[in-house]
Every structure is written in structure tokens, then in C-alpha cells.
Amino acid sequence: MNEIADTKPSNFIRHIIDSDMTANKYGGHFQTRFPPEPNGYLHIGHAKSICLNFGLAMDYKGLCTLRFDDTNPQKEEEEFVDAIKTDVHWLGFEFEKHLHYASSYFEKLYAYAVQLIEQGDAYVCDLSAEETREYRGTLTTPGKDSPYRERSIKENLDLFKRMRDGEFEDGSRLLRAKVDMASANINLRDPAIYRIRRDVVHHQTGTAWSIYPMYDYAHCLSDAIEGVTHSLCTLEFEDHRPLYDWFLNTIKTEHHPKQIEFSRLNLQYTITSKRKLTKLVEGNFVNGWNDPRMPTITGMRRRGYPAEALREFCLRIGVTKADNSVEMGILESCVRENLNENSPRAMAVLDPLKVVISNYPEDKTEQLIAPNHPQNESMGTREVPFSKTLYIDKSDFKEEANNKFKRLVKDKEVRLRNAYVIRCDEVIKDELGEVVELRCSYDPATLGVNPEDRKVKGVIHWVSAKHGIPLEIRVFDRLFNHPHPDMDKDVDDFTVHLNPDSLITLTQSIVEPSVALAASNLVYQFEREGYFCADSELSASGNLVFNRTITLRDTWVKTS
């Protein structure tokens, strides 16, 4: 985690915090929170918010809480609560001692609402949903006062208590803040504070409540109850800030956090909206929230993206107030740089072509020694079995080729990675003219010889046929064919931009045996092919399924 603490990028939020700290505004205290609504899994946009909130708390020696803003039981589930905890933890942040639920403040929030009624700042409104909309007015026309706005405090208190007691039907009444129906800001036109939901079961509070607080009301008060000093949220809440402050000022809470908005992360060729990701999952456009093509934290984890790379990405994109859209290449280069440094190397042949070494003894096996990393010797070495029959990749052979093709060509030589130089003597084809086997000879004097002393055109990877382990490889491409799938005004449904070829499965591949013993979260560089890791759900012993985490080089620039 030191890299977060050690790299202190300057941004407008830090400037605000610095000046608040200098002015000793909150008595030297600094506190943030990450406040997800448990109605879906976290995505890469949330990672930006998590890294920002937890990262600032570390830098300013303050505190960051994880708070579930669980005020809408209809859409929330325990499954999401658990998944969010797992993801935040995996990203590298501790919250165990500071884990909160807005729902645990329900009693306090109720008491604040009673206070608002007693002060004449809230009322029970009986307008129907449709009438409420009508009375609210529009962006250009002011709203109208509800006929229930001037109810007596006594009547309001009585009705609100009976709302809580479950006397009234869902939707029949609302508790509303008495702010200003003529405000230019629609959020201030007597917003709802409580709604009736009699028959839902809340994942934390069960059936204890028949009424639930609205997000805008619960959010600012939860911040205040927890003693948050800086409440960071995305730009769409800018227009809600006057309401945030109105609640806190009107209730006169002990703490008054400062809300600061920043721009959300939009990532090209994917979507960062929980609601839309829910649609992909529920419509079976992907295989669940942890599908490795999803921009969710759980999907990226399964795909093999290291947590450290996601944190590095969040640092690199920075925090501003400008709407922006980040190129996928930036995320991928963070992943690639991390894996290049940390991934052990191995050899896998994705599309095998059989090679028989004619002058190699039939039953012999040699255990050749190969480094696990080309630069990092501390990663050690491994044994790679070599035998008479091998596989190389089909794309690494041509019967004829010019000098640019630095692989195996008929009657020419190539070096087998970590092994010998071989020459292709004979090409065997099937009745359709397809190359099915190569007969080669090896030069026994070339093992471990400095490549400078025995120059050949190129180096290719290989796997011993007898020792190699078959594996299935899932190759992922971009999930959408459009850089901004959910912003295309020409289509109503962003799913039309889904890439039909975003998942291709290779079933003929074969990998060196050392890989079969690997842990599922270990990402390998299969030399010359890319980065791959065992799929945590589909891989079982004796049945290897690998995901391609990422290509060796950036493939976005030339194709997008």
C-alpha cells in the first residue's frame, strides 16, 4: 500500500483539504467514506472512488469508513453486501473496524425526521405519485405548494407515526421536507424524506420498518453521524448539495461534512453504470457479474488483473471536475506493466503443430532448466521436459518465407526457447494439403550455448507432446464495439453495441506441466502469447481452463 501513500498527486480535492487542515476546520480530523448502495457489484468506476477515499484517509492520517447506503430494500441484497466487502478488501483497503450501514441509523434518522416536523420543516403529503410530479413543476416552471403543506405539526406527527406503524398503504403518503416549491433547483422543491414500503424485507433490519428514508436524506445525515469531514461524490450530486446542506443546517447536526464533487470515470468500450451492468447480467448477455469481460472488480479479479494495477490506474487517471472518457489502453498498460514485472514465464502452444525430432532417442526425456523470469533471477528456475515429439504453434511455421519471418521455415533453423536449435527437414501434409507434422533434426551441441555464438533467425516456444497438459483457453476481446456504447443517441438499447466475438474459446491448446500445479490466481506470461491465468470457477484438477488476462502488446491503438 506504500505506493499510494508515497505518491501524493496534487488535485483540487487535496487543495481543499489542505486549506481546511491549515485552518484547523475540523479540529485536525480528517474522515471520508465510501458509500455504496448494495444493489449490484462494484465496477472500475467505484474503484476510482474507493482509491480516492481510502487513499486520502491514509495520506492525511485520517479515517475512511465503508458505509452501505442501504435505504432501498427493494433493490438490495445480502449477496451484494458480501461481494462489495470482498472487492474493497481485495483492492487492498481495510475497513473491518469501520464498517457501517445507513440502516443502523434508522432510529436516529426517524428521530431527526420527527424533529423536522416539530420545527415545521417537514410534512406528511397525501398527493399521489402522479400529482406529486405535476405539482413539482419543470426545469422552466416553478412548482406548486401541496395542499397538505400547511398541515398542523400535531397532525403531521400523528400521521408520520402511523406511517411507521404500517397503517397506510405503499405510495399513499410521503413525508416531505418543507423547503421551497419555487426553487430553481428542483431538488429543493419539497423533496421526499420517507416513503412507505410495508411488505419488503430489508437485508439488515428485516421487517422492523414500514417506512424507509430517501437517499438524499439518509446520506448526508449518515455522513454527519459518522463524523465524516469531506464527503466526496460524483458530479451528478452537485445539484443535490444545497439539499445536503439544507438538511444538516436545518437539523443542526453536530458535524457538518463538506460535500465535494468530482467527475465519474467513464471507460471506453465498456460501461460503468451499475444499472446497465445489471441489465447485462439479468439479460444473460454475459455470464454473471464476475464474467471476465465485465468491468466489475470481481470480473477483473477473475480475469487476472492485479489489485495493484487497478490502484495504479486510479492514480494515473487522477481526479478532476471535467467529464472525461478514459481509453482502455491506459487500464491495460497498468495491468501489462505490473504483469510483465511479476508474472512467471511458461510455455503454452495455443494452436499446436506436431514436430518429431528424428535424431532424438525414442524414450529419452531431458529435464531442461528454464528461468521463470528473464530479468528477475529471484523468481528462480523450473524444469521443462524435452522429448522426441513436441508441439509448436502453427503460426510459427511456413514452408517458404522471406527473411522477415523469424520463425521456422522448411530447410532452415530456429531455436527452441530454453532448448536446442532444430532444423526442419520434411513437411508432412494430409490429403487436403494441410501441414500436419514436421520432421526436424536437433543439434545436441546447442543447448545452453550463447545465442550470439550460434546465430539462428529466431526463437519459438514449444511443449513436449508426452508431458504437455491440454488446456482450454478463453480469449477475450472488448465487450462492446462502440467506444461509448451507452451514449450513442442513434440507438435506444446499448446492448446492440455488444461485440459478438468478445469471447473465443480455444480447445486444442497445450501447456508445459509446471503450470498445472499453479494456484488459480497466478497469472503467467505464456511466452510470445500473452498473459493467462487459470479460471477460478471453471478450472478443476485434471481440467485446466485458462483466461487470457491481456495481450503482450497494446492492441487498441491500431484497431480502435
Active site residues: 37, 264, 274
**Min CB(237)–ligand ATP separation in Å:** 7
Least Å distance between CB 117 and ligand ATP?
28
3-state secondary structure of 237: helix
Report how far apart, in Å, the C-alpha atoms of 206 and of each of 73, 209, 554 are: 9, 8, 49
CA distance 358 to 306: 44
Structural contact between residues 550 and 339, judged by C-beta atoms closer than 8 angstroms: yes
Yes or no: say if 470 and 446 are a contact pair by the CB < 8 Å rule. Answer: no
Question: What is d(CA 187, CA 177) in angstroms, rounded to the nearest whole number?
Answer: 11
Nearer to ligand ATP, 49 or 418 (CB): 49
CB 48 within 8 A of CB 56: no
The HSE-up count of residue 58 (CA atoms within 13 Å, CB side) is 18
For ligand ATP, the closer CB: 312 or 413: 312
SS3 (DSSP) at 146: coil
Q: Which residues bind ligand ATP (CB under 6 A)?
A: 35-37, 45-46, 48-49, 233-234, 264-265, 272-275
By beta-carbon proximity to ligand ATP, the closer residue of 48 and 415 is: 48
Query: Measured from the CB atom, is 165 or 238 closer to ligand ATP?
Result: 238
Tell me the residue ranges of DSSP E strands in 401-478. Answer: 408-409, 413-416, 421-429, 435-443, 459-460, 463-464, 469-476
DSSP classification of residue 501? T
Nearest approach in angstroms of CB 524 to ligand ATP is 31
**Residue 375 C-beta: closest distance to ligand ATP, Å:** 35
Shortest spacing between CB 552 and ligand ATP, in angstroms: 29
Kindly tell me which of 486 and 527 has the beta carbon lying closer to ligand ATP: 486
Tell me whether residue 46 or residue 311 sits nearer to ligand ATP (CB atom): 46
What are the backbone dihedrals phi and psi of residue 15, each rounded to the nearest 5 degrees, phi first? -60, -40
Do 439 and 482 form a contact (C-beta atoms < 8 A)?
no
- Among 5, 10, 2, 61, which residue's Cα sits nearest to residue 318? 10
The distance of closest approach from Cβ of residue 274 to ligand ATP in the complex, given in angstroms and rounded to an integer, is 3
Residue nearest to ligand ATP (CB): 45
Q: Please name the residues in contact with 489: beta carbons below 8 A apart, sequence gap of 6 or more.
A: none
